[in-house]
């Protein structure tokens, strides 16, 4: 169905080029057909026909489960995990006689584990549900019985007539009928939909715009015929049947759910789509689920364990089969005490191979303890707790906006410790995204003396290079406090030049141009003034911070914009002659809106003197070519200034104007209006074409420069991150010069770095562009890029030996070619060999593609950080997406995995939390396998001495509590609290981070080492215990070690050893660790006493065994001590020799900390440490190449 | 708070050379005395072990004759052995030899029988019992776990199951200087077994009454709670070679004292090739005679000292 509509629209688009009328007919002609069948009876939801249609209500549920399906659905989710499924099968089979232990003892831990996970799911879903309830119960006014009555959102029906007030959210997708404005317009903020904070204008049909009071709705009846619910946010096809006529409807009349009414007192609308039919809900897709590398490797380990499990079960069943077969030989019973002549199939010597097969299944269950059942759930619990700590971190809390860091997904915590490449957005991420007007160039004269951040950073760099020792610490003013002499600081304005401030511009040589320049700034915008009644102060609500900066600048310089009506803009102006403030009003004729394709905006106004003016501002690339011959008077100088500004890291715009003659305007207006009223998809193209016609022959006025300030601490943070060996790529939409300068300012690029620039900005290609032959341009561009990449490669290879680092700068156009299949790999090769990469002029899609290239091409972990809706693709593509919860809406945050308020918090997030989480999780996983292998293999050794009959060495309940009570809590404590080095030291030694990037804590030999340690431990336990108790009495009263006592003794050793091993492998003991580790051991004894005191029916082989048999025997305690110490000995010896003679980086730091020489580390590194660091760096380099 | 900022006061031990050496040396100097002490205790234990399964027949008797003999309830299985060491096995049917106790054995002297290659820990075997039935008369019919030794005809067997059915039934009679030594068979089972696991109102019923006769029979007029041999037997052993307590001799045996044992060699271990041994042993605080624990302690302690020395040397030569 969807395919069908898509095709229809596609065809219609082809038509619309030739004739837009036919387009209208065409698309609207589809109404009533498939995909376009929706009928809405406006203001008449009780109409029997409407009821018959059974459209969904406005009740919205975003929960994963409902009360009914929670149990089955969440269970299904749980058992999609291999390990859980395995345990389920085991639990089921354990009801059969195959099972080596009772069914309950298997089921209980499984239930605990599954229950815990389900509870977690449930709580999460409950939160979502609470949000839903909140949304569903919001109030809205609905028309009924001649008046508007309040009702809840969820009760809205299709066809209801609603009234929405200012700053309220729309409860459903509505058709705009009329608004508080006479012409039926309203402003809408769509931040929740697309992240754009600017206000969008919606326009009611003229026919309905007059319905503005309650009484007029009494007889309002109409029907809407429109498309079916779909996810396309930017199109709508429908017809309104009203008053016997058909009126085409477009997106202009549709108000989408989750957007907000702004700057309009109220609107009336008809509900068209409700609940899950609304476009925003149709758009809601589950974000791609990400899994960390560690977890993926963990799966492999689980598979290894599964194979081990199968292998040892198989071995066991082979032996079992042989021994069982031997039980009857030539009619003679051998082990007569087993009655092999009267047996079940499981032990039948005559069917030994079948018995062996069944025994294989038994073995799978018995050795199932190799698979840590609680691993998944423990890891999940740990990660949630880790995220809570991340959220709670005071050092990542931004007071100004009251925003803490937020880990939105918890399953990527350890991935934070392995980031190899950061891909960062620039605006709003590295910079504040609060624009300040700092400079301008009018009529070829540069104004503005303020020093920009970038300039200061560059100056600082130069200075510190000159006299490195003397004043490297001299305090340079920070982001916010350098407004010095202008009395009171004005937000968004940092312009100082006495030549034109305070009205002095009148005396400048080109004062008329200066006046025009600021008039353009004051008029050509879409901002809305907000006059505060008490103080008379004016603040502006603008589409973009740039625009606000312009209006503020104009205000500060005497062109105060104070009122906007539908048709006019009014300014307080300084009169040229009299020097007094006068009100001046401009009739606003048309606004030619800004779009990223047009890169400019214009307004057409009529002055009081009846002069028609087109005022225009836009990007240099589009503006300079639109200048008239006379308008190029100051072109050279202005361009010079513009380049200087760009170099200083400023955002520039060109300001121009043009006078229009009445006649020209009239003829153009006709065309423009026609384009504007068309309702086809090509409408935008038509409007653009019309605009293009009038925005010509402009006269240059000047150039503005707005500073986007660097965020606090960005250079330091980037410096730290690159010291940690993390590569940083900046993907920005800015001009190359700006990007490069920002690069310098935030120490991405350094003076010693060799720059490689890949660009299409070469003379021969621009020549070709003028000829306009697309194909040859393509070809030439591709060749040029290929050549440049080749050269870069050669350059890098040539200097590989020397310590020169490279910085790669590439622009958007070139990137397109570089990302093509053929060049992709060589581009990547060049890029990864550069210390930093800057991609300028890149589109959101390119950002995502670059991210993917890096992720797939290098196989390393990538982290994308951004703040705007244009970064969403990148954030979702990267292994980790970090959203900056800043100015540009919540879209990036919503699709991110972590959200922080400032870029500089990234340092702490990665170097501290990332490192910790990585270390914790890896240690936890290794340890988990260790403890389960230790336990599982003792069972196996015992089997070997029980003719592989499948008898477990321990009581059922000891076994089932092993993973749940005796050993799990210390691991969780390890996963949540362990720190190898403190946060301060993590930050001080950024190189420590490489442990995660190179994944040296989770290499296969480390994992296998732990596993081997587990096997050795199990051997020590089993063979020491059996050999030291073999057949002799173990107490003074002559009693012997039997099955029960042996089980308890071995189990005691296991519990002790596993917990002590934990104590040995962590080096951070708070009371929590002490409590959990020693508590677990104590709990084992407590359990033994309590369980042993229960009646023998329940406790079976554990009855009184500790109190009566083991505790009074010195032998029991001595054996425990011996086994525990000898089990810990291999690891302890390894660690003590390794830390001393072959230390890892964290060992070095730890040692230095304890030696107290931390204070003056950098001054004097011990030779071996230096060597180690050198070694690490070497490996880093090696890895990169 | 300091908790949420992960700044709780913490003890952060690291493996400094001082610590490492201290730990190794500490382990060394505690383990070696413990090892010596337990070795000493084990050495003090006097133990006499006599394998008699092969000694009670002609060595060259062929297998089938032997099996016929052991299965025939009527054949005379009395076997007289003299205990001493070194072990000396000869044909000794109905003959008395005099051998000597090697060292003075103080009472109580525990008498054990040791079986080899007998899988009391086999899953089928371990499970084949009914604790409910053993506990009280009411549980008489709880025999579902006891297959295949559950019923005799239609009547339930008490005690049921393979374990009870295969009860060990060799008997030993000891004499010294032609005077019988009394064997005290009281208190050889765990107290908890007597009081809580085996009921005083449960009497053996239909036990070994028909079909294949496994091991020993029980006196039907004595309640299970007083059948200590059965209790000992039913505490299954952990490993295929195991000892079980048979009784105690409550008088001291002097060095060089001659002991004569008359064995009723009833129990069939010949079919699966299991050894049978008679063990007389005294105990010390560590239990019976086994040097392993002491030696292991000495080894671990030694290794630790060795590591400590190594570490010190490496520390000196490769700081």
List, for residues B210-225, the tens digit of each pLDDT value: 777 778 888 888 888 8
Specify which of A115-124, A410-419, A719-728, A1115-1124 reaches the highest per-range mean pLDDT.
A1115-1124
Mutation target among A396, A1038, A1069, A1074 for the B interface, most CBs of B within 10 A: A1038
Q: What is the distance in angstroms between the Cα of B117 and the nearest Cα belonging to chain A?
A: 10
Q: Distance (Å, rounded) from C-alpha A516 to C-alpha A509?
A: 14
Label residue A1059 exposed, middle or buried (CB < 10 Å: 0-12, 13-18, 19+).
Answer: buried
**Given a cut of 60, is residue A1160 above it in pLDDT?**
no
CB contact under 8 A, A344 and B318: no
**Which chain A residue lies closest to B119 (C-alpha atoms)?**
A946
Confidence of residue A1168 (pLDDT cuts 50, 70, 90): low
| C-beta neighbour count of A167 within 10 angstroms | 11
Of the candidate ranges A260-269, A612-621, A812-821, the one whose mean pLDDT is the lowest: A812-821
Q: List CB contacts (< 8 A) between B23 and chain A.
A: 1132
Half-sphere exposure of B182 (CA within 13 A, CB side): 5
Confidence of residue A454 (pLDDT cuts 50, 70, 90): low
Which residues of A does the annotation mark as catalytic?
425
CB interface of A with B, residues 1048-1067, below 8 Å: 1067
| Residue A871 is assigned to a ligand binding site | yes
User: Does residue A1108 sit at the B interface (CB-CB below 8 Å)?
Assistant: yes
CB contact under 8 A, B162 and A1118: no
Q: What is the distance in angstroms between the Cα of B104 and the nearest Cα belonging to chain A?
A: 18
**Which chain A residue lies closest to B5 (C-alpha atoms)?**
A393
Q: What is the pLDDT of residue A7?
A: 36
Q: List CB contacts (< 8 A) between A339 and chain B.
A: 148-149, 162, 212
Place of tokens 């570490």: B311
Of the candidate ranges A425-439, A608-622, A1050-1064, B289-303, the one whose mean pLDDT is the lowest: A425-439
Q: What is the distance in angstroms between the Cα of B242 and the nearest Cα belonging to chain A?
A: 5
CB interface of B with A, residues 37-66, below 8 Å: 38, 47
| C-beta neighbour count of B154 within 10 angstroms | 6
CB contact under 8 A, A337 and B212: no
Of A100, A1026, A1039, the CB nearest to B239: A1026
pLDDT digits (tens, 9 = 90+) for B173-186: 888 877 888 888 88
CB-based burial, A493-517: b 16+ in 10 Å, e otherwise: bbbbbeebeeeebeebebbebbbbb
CB contact under 8 A, A1031 and B243: yes
CB contact under 8 A, B148 and A343: yes
CB A714 within 8 A of CB A981: no
Strand ranges (DSSP E) for chain B? 47-51, 78-82, 109-115, 151-152, 155-156, 171-176, 179-181, 183-184, 242-249, 259-264, 276-281
CB A822 within 8 A of CB A848: no
| Residue A1120 is assigned to a ligand binding site | no
**Given a cut of 80, is residue A433 above it in pLDDT?**
no
CB contact under 8 A, B13 and A1040: no
Partner residues linked to A139 by β-bridges: A152
CB contact under 8 A, B281 and A1032: yes
Q: What is the distance in angstroms between the Cα of B14 and the nearest Cα belonging to chain A?
A: 6
**Given a cut of 80, is residue A514 above it in pLDDT?**
yes
Of the candidate ranges A235-239, A436-440, A441-445, A591-595, the one whose mean pLDDT is the lowest: A591-595
**Given a cut of 70, is residue B100 above it in pLDDT?**
no
pLDDT digits (tens, 9 = 90+) for A918-971: 999 999 999 988 999 999 999 999 988 888 888 888 888 888 888 888 888 889
CB contact under 8 A, A1151 and B16: yes
Distances (CA, A) of A1109 to A102, A907, A1036, A1106, A1113: 25, 58, 11, 6, 7
Of B67, B119, B315, the CB nearest to A335: B119
User: Does residue B34 sit at the A interface (CB-CB below 8 Å)?
Assistant: yes
User: Does residue B8 sit at the A interface (CB-CB below 8 Å)?
Assistant: yes
User: Does residue B268 sit at the A interface (CB-CB below 8 Å)?
Assistant: yes
**Given a cut of 50, is residue B87 above it in pLDDT?**
no
Q: What is the distance in angstroms between the Cα of B299 and the nearest Cα belonging to chain A?
A: 10
| Residue A767 is assigned to a ligand binding site | no
CA-wise closest residue to A398 among A156, A182, A713? A713
What angle separates helix A293-325 from helix A82-93, to the nearest 10 degrees?
Answer: 30
Q: List CB contacts (< 8 A) between A1030 and chain B.
A: 239, 241, 290, 292
Q: What is the pLDDT of residue A286?
A: 58
pTM: 0.78
Of B131, B165, B212, the CB nearest to A1097: B131
User: Does residue B272 sit at the A interface (CB-CB below 8 Å)?
Assistant: yes
**Given a cut of 50, is residue A1158 above it in pLDDT?**
no
Q: What is the pLDDT of residue A982?
A: 84
Rounded CA Rg of chain A: 37
Of B67, B212, B293, the CB nearest to A1028: B293
Q: Distance (Å, rounded) from C-alpha A274 to C-alpha A54?
A: 12
| C-beta neighbour count of B220 within 10 angstroms | 12
User: Does residue B183 sit at the A interface (CB-CB below 8 Å)?
Assistant: no
CB contact under 8 A, B287 and A1033: yes
CB A759 within 8 A of CB A472: no
User: Does residue B125 sit at the A interface (CB-CB below 8 Å)?
Assistant: yes
Q: What is the pLDDT of residue B64?
A: 67
Q: What is the pLDDT of residue A1049?
A: 92
Q: Distance (Å, rounded) from C-alpha A227 to C-alpha B127?
A: 71
Specify which of A88-97, A247-256, A342-351, B304-313 reaches the highest per-range mean pLDDT.
B304-313
**Given a cut of 80, is residue A469 above it in pLDDT?**
no
Of B166, B293, B304, the CB nearest to A1122: B293
| Residue A594 is assigned to a ligand binding site | yes
Q: What is the distance in angstroms between the Cα of B229 and the nearest Cα belonging to chain A?
A: 13
Q: What is the pLDDT of residue A639?
A: 86
CB A175 within 8 A of CB A251: no
CB contact under 8 A, B271 and A335: yes
What interface predicted TM-score (ipTM) does this complex get?
0.92
Q: Distance (Å, rounded) from C-alpha B57 to C-alpha B87?
A: 16
CB B56 within 8 A of CB B263: yes
Mean pLDDT of chain A: 79
Q: What is the pLDDT of residue B99?
A: 54
Report angle CA A99, A102, A107 to the nearest 5 degrees.
100
pLDDT digits (tens, 9 = 90+) for A135-171: 888 888 888 777 888 888 888 888 888 888 888 888 8
Higher-confidence residue: A422 or A258? A422
């Amino acid at each position: 169905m969807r395919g069908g509509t898509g095709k229809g629209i596609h065809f219609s688009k082809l038509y619309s080029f030739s004739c837009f009328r036919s387009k209208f007919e065409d698309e609207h002609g589809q109404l009533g057909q498939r995909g376009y069948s929706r009928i809405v009876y406006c203001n008449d939801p009780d109409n029997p026909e409407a009821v018959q249609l059974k459209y969904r209500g406005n009740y919205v549920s975003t929960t994963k489960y409902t009360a009914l399906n929670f149990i089955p659905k969440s269970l299904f989710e749980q058992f999609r995990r291999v390990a859980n499924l395995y345990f389920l099968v085991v639990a089921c089979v354990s009801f059969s006689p195959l099972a080596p232990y009772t069914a309950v003892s298997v089921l209980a831990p499984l239930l605990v584990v599954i229950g815990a996970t389900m509870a977690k799911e449930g709580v999460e879903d409950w939160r979502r549900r609470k949000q839903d309830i909140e949304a569903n119960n919001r109030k809205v006014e609905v028309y009924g019985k001649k008046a508007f009555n309040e009702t809840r959102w969820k009760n809205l029906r299709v066809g209801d007539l609603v009234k929405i007030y200012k700053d309220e959210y729309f409860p459903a997708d509505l058709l705009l009928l009329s608004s508080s404005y006479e012409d039926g317009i309203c402003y809408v903020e769509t931040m929740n939909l697309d992240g754009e904070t600017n206000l969008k204008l919606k326009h009611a049909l003229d026919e309905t715009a007059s319905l503005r009071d309650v009484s007029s709705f009494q007889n309002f009846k109409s029907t809407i015929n429109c498309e079916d619910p779909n996810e396309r946010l930017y199109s709508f096809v429908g017809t309104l049947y009203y008053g016997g006529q058909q009126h085409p409807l477009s997106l202009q009349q549709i108000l989408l759910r989750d957007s907000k009414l702004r700057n309009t007192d109220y609107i009336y609308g008809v509900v068209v789509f409700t609940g899950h039919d609304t476009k925003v809900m149709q758009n809601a897709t589950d974000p791609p689920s990400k899994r960390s590398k560690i977890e993926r490797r963990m799966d492999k380990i689980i598979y290894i364990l599964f194979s081990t499990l199968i292998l040892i079960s198989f071995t066991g069943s082979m032996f079992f089969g042989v021994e069982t077969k031997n039980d009857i030989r030539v009619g003679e019973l051998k082990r007569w005490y087993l009655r092999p002549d009267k047996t079940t199939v499981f032990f039948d010597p005559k069917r030994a191979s079948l018995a062996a097969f069944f025994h294989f299944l038994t073995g799978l269950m018995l050795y199932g303890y190799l698979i840590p059942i609680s691993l998944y759930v423990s890891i999940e619990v740990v990660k949630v707790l880790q995220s809570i700590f991340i959220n709670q971190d005071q050092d990542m809390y931004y007071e100004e906006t009251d925003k803490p860091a937020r880990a939105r997904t918890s399953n990527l915590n350890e991935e934070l410790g392995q980031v190899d490449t950061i891909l960062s957005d620039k605006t709003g991420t590295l910079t504040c995204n609060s624009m300040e007007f700092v400079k301008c160039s009018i009529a070829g004269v540069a104004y503005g003396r303020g020093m920009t951040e970038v300039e200061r950073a560059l100056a600082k760099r130069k200075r510190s290079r000159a006299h490195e020792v003397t004043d490297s610490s001299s305090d340079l003013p920070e982001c916010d406090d350098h407004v010095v002499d202008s009395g009171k600081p004005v937000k968004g304005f940092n312009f100082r030049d006495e030549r034109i401030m305070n009205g002095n511009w009148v005396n400048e040589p080109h004062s008329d141009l200066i006046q025009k320049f600021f008039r353009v700034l004051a008029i050509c915008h879409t901002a809305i003034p907000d006059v505060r009644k008490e103080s008379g102060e004016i603040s502006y609500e603008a589409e973009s911070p740039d625009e606000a900066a312009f209006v503020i600048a104009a205000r500060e310089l005497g062109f105060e914009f104070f009122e906007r009506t539908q048709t006019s803009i009014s300014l307080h102006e300084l009169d040229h002659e009299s020097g007094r403030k006068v009100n001046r009003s401009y009739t606003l004729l048309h606004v030619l809106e800004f779009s990223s394709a047009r890169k400019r905006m214009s307004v057409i106004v009529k002055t009081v003197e009846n002069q028609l003016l087109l005022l225009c501002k836009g990007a240099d690339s589009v503006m300079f070519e639109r200048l008239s011959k006379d308008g190029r008077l100051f072109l050279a100088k202005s361009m010079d200034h513009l380049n200087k500004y760009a170099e200083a890291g400023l955002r520039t715009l060109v300001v121009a104007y043009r006078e229009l003659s009445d006649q020209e305007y009239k003829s153009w207006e006709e065309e423009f209006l026609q384009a504007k009223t068309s309702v086809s998809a090509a409408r935008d193209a038509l409007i653009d074409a019309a605009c293009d016609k009038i925005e010509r022959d402009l006269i240059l006025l000047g150039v503005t420069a707005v500073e986007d300030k660097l965020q606090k601490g960005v250079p330091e943070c980037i410096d730290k991150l690159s010291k940690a060996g993390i590569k940083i790529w900046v993907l920005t939409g800015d001009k190359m010069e700006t990007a490069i300068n920002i690069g310098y300012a935030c120490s991405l690029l350094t003076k010693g770095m060799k720059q490689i620039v890949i660009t299409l900005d070469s003379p021969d290609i621009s020549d070709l562009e003028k000829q306009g032959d697309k194909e040859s341009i393509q070809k030439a561009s591709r060749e040029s890029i290929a050549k440049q990449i080749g050269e870069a490669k050669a350059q890098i290879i040539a200097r590989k030996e020397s310590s020169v680092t490279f910085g790669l700068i590439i622009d958007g156009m070139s990137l397109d070619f570089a990302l093509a299949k053929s060049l992709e790999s060589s581009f990547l090769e060049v890029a990864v060999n550069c210390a930093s990469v800057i991609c300028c002029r890149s589109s959101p899609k390119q950002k995502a593609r670059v991210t993917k290239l890096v992720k797939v091409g290098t196989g390393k972990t990538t982290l994308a950080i951004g703040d705007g809706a244009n970064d969403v693709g990148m954030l979702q593509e990267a292994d980790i997406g970090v959203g900056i919860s800043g100015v540009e809406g919540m879209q990036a945050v919503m699709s991110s995995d972590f959200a922080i308020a400032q870029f500089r918090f990234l340092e702490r997030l990665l170097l501290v939390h990332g490192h910790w989480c990585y270390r914790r999780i890896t240690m936890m996983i290794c340890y988990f396998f260790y403890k389960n292998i230790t336990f599982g293999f003792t069972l196996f050794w015992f089997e070997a001495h029980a003719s592989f009959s499948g008898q477990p060495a321990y009581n059922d309940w000891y076994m089932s509590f092993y993973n749940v009570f005796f050993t799990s809590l210390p691991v969780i404590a390890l996963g949540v609290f362990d720190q190898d080095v403190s946060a301060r030291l993590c930050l001080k030694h950024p190189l420590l981070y490489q442990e995660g990037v190179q994944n040296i804590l989770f290499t296969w030999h480390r994992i296998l080492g732990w596993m081997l340690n587990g096997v050795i431990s199990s051997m020590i336990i089993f063979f020491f215990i059996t050999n030291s108790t073999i057949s002799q009495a173990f107490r003074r009263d002559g009693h012997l070690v039997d099955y029960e006592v042996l089980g308890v003794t071995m189990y005691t050793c296991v519990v002790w050893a596993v917990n002590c091993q934990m104590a040995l492998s962590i080096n951070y003991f708070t009371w929590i660790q002490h409590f959990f580790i020693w508590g677990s051991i104590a709990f084992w004894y407590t359990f033994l006493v309590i369980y042993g005191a229960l009646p023998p029916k329940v406790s079976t082989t554990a009855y009184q065994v500790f109190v009566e048999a083991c505790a009074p025997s010195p032998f029991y305690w001595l054996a425990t001590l011996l086994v525990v110490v000898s089990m810990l000995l291999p690891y302890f010896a390894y660690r003590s020799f390794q830390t001393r003679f072959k230390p890892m980086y964290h060992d070095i730091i730890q040692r230095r900390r304890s030696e107290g020489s931390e204070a003056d580390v950098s001054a004097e590194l011990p030779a071996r440490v230096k060597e180690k660091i050198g070694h690490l760096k070497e490996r880093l380099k090696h890895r990169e190449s | 708070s300091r908790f949420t900022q992960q700044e709780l006061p913490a003890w952060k031990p690291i493996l400094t050379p001082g610590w490492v050496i201290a730990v190794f040396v500490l382990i060394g100097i505690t383990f070696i005395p413990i090892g010596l002490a337990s070795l000493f205790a084990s050495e003090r234990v006097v133990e006499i072990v006599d394998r008699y399964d092969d000694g009670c027949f002609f060595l060259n008797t062929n297998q089938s004759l032997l099996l016929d003999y052991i299965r025939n309830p009527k054949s005379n299985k009395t076997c007289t052995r003299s205990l001493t060491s070194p072990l000396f096995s000869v044909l000794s049917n109905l003959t008395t030899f005099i051998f000597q106790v090697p060292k003075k054995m103080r009472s109580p002297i525990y008498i054990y029988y040791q079986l080899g290659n007998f899988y009391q820990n086999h899953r089928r075997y371990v499970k084949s019992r009914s604790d409910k039935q053993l506990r009280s008369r009411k549980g008489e019919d709880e025999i579902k776990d006891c297959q295949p030794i559950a019923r005799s005809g239609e009547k339930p067997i008490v005690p049921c199951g393979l374990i009870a059915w295969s009860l060990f039934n060799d008997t030993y009679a000891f004499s010294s200087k032609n005077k019988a030594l009394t064997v005290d068979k009281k208190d050889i089972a765990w107290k908890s077994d007597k009081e809580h696991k085996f009921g005083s109102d449960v009497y053996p019923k239909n036990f070994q009454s028909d079909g294949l006769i496994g091991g020993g029979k029980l006196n039907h007029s004595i309640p299970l709670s007083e059948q200590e041999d059965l209790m000992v037997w039913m505490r299954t052993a952990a490993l295929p070679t195991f000892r079980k307590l048979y009784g105690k001799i409550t008088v001291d045996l002097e060095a060089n004292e001659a002991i004569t044992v008359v064995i009723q060699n009833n129990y069939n271990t010949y079919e699966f090739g299991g050894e049978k041994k008679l063990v007389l042993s005294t105990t010390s605080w560590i239990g019976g005679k086994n040097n392993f624990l002491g030696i292991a302690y000495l080894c671990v302690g030694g290794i630790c000292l060795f590591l400590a020395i190594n570490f010190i040397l490496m520390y000196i030569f490769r700081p």
